[in-house]
Structure 1
Amino acid sequence: MNEQIHEQLKEIKRSFRLLMNGVASHSMRQKGVSYKINWGVPIPDLQKMAAEYGKNYELAIELWKEDIRECQVLATLIMPAERMDEDLVEVWMERLRTQEMAELLAFHLLQYLDFAPALAYKWIASDCNMYQLCGYQLLARLFARGMEPNERGINEFLDQVHVTLAGESLPLRHAAYNCVLSFCDLGADFDVIAQKALADLNIL
């Protein structure tokens, strides 16, 4: 790590103390959102901070290594999408620990990657809940932006959704259901296809 990045990292960590929200931090812990350190800083405050630093590949790399909620949120905001290759995505995914961060990573960064659809379809079929969760978050974002899947993609998606919605994980079922709603919003044809495929689950 070069000296400038090291100093920026120290400055960022210090600034969290000034923005600390103990009530929010405590509330997250009660809901099972566990980080080594969580200052409870609101996302809008972190977005303002990210705007001040701008896109910065080296700083984002170092921030993501920290087991601190605010550092990781900032990393998702300042990492340039064009510098994020598949190997780096895998490294970041290995450090993913919470549902909140899966949502923010997909929303702030992953949806802008050229290979985002391939990642999403691979992850929703993963054995790892965190990968599945991030996959559904990512697909929901892509559908919301108007990305229409081809026939194979539709079949893969609905087959996997059916398995997930019949499963026991509440966070996964919630993410899959929201993803289905985004899929249905693509148009009447997609809505009909989803209703037929998931009719036995009686969710739509």
Structure 2
Amino acid sequence: MDLQETLKDIKTQFRMGMNGVTSKSMREKGLDYKLNFGVEVPRLKEIASRYEKDHQLAQALWKEDIRESKILASMLQPIDSFYPEIADIWVEDMRYPEIAELTCQNLFQYLPYASEKVFEWIADGREYFAACGYLILARLFMRKQPLNERAENEYLDQVLADVQSESAFVRRCAFTSLMKYVQQGKTEGRKALKAMEPLKQSADERLHGLYDEIKFESEY
């Protein structure tokens, strides 16, 4: 099949897997795609398994304002042809947390330049760049990929600011990454507690709670 035939075939499979209840629920929560079939992620993985990874196909899927197309794009994009500037374009195009989370899980965490790109993104200031940076860092920490001292200090400085972000999504991603960082070992736990000391001094009870969670995790 050529590209257009493949895209048509994929959309047919989206329709076959459509979940109207899920689609309606997402629309009611503000997920305003041109099309949203409500197909569940396990079914999308099954659909993706029927195709070879292909750069042109993934790029064409990503350009569609269709929830399932964007998720499938993250599953079918080859790593070796996904250059840093394309990664930036994809993040600029993100509007919903689900797409950011699945793209980081399926693709971004495996990029050879991921460990460098995350620091550019968390310092960027834009919501989805920061969120993706922290989502990738959480994945890297789970895989026990250490940071050098300079990167570690930069991370701890930035994450302190971003657990206090105005964006709930950035706050959640930053805090998740911090917990994964702490779970690497006692040394990381001590460093995190020291870096997060300002939270303990804050008048905001929520920030006190975050500090207590970090303390509990570091002592576990």
TM-score for both structures, normalised by structure 2: 0.88
Residue 14 of structure 1: CA displacement? 1.8
Residue 193 of structure 1: CA displacement? 0.5
CA distance in 2, matches of 1:97, 1:186: 31
8 Å CA contact 1:76, 1:108 repeated in 2: yes
- Could you tell me which runs of 5 or more consecutive residues in structure 2 were left unpaired when the two chains were aligned: 200-207, 215-220
Point out the more displaced range, 95-104 or 84-93. Answer: 84-93
Give CA-to-partner distance per residue, 1:123-150, whole Å, 9 cap, x none.
1111210111111111111111111111
Give CA-to-partner distance per residue, 1:30-83, whole Å, 9 cap, x none.
333332211110000000111110211111111011010100100000111121
Residue 186 of structure 1: CA displacement? 1.3
CA distance in 1, matches of 2:32, 2:119: 27
- Could you tell me which runs of 5 or more consecutive residues in structure 1 were left unpaired when the two chains were aligned: none
CA distance in 1, matches of 2:155, 2:27: 33
8 Å CA contact 2:79, 2:111 repeated in 1: yes
Aligned length: 202
Q: SS at 1:45's partner residue? A: helix
Match of 1:118 in 2: 116
CA distance in 2, matches of 1:191, 1:100: 29
Letter matched to residue 85 of structure 2:
D
Match of 1:81 in 2: 79
Match of 1:133 in 2: 131
Match of 1:103 in 2: 101
CA distance in 2, matches of 1:136, 1:33: 22
Structure number with higher relative contact order (C-alpha < 8 Å, ≥ 6 residues apart): 1
Letter matched to residue 35 of structure 1:
Y
- Higher Rg of the two aligned structures: 2
Residue 168 of structure 1: CA displacement? 2.1
Match of 1:6 in 2: 4
Residue 171 of structure 1: CA displacement? 1.3
8 Å CA contact 1:34, 1:98 repeated in 2: no
Letter matched to residue 192 of structure 1:
R
Say if 2:200 is the partner of 1:195: no
Cα RMSD between the aligned structures? 1.3
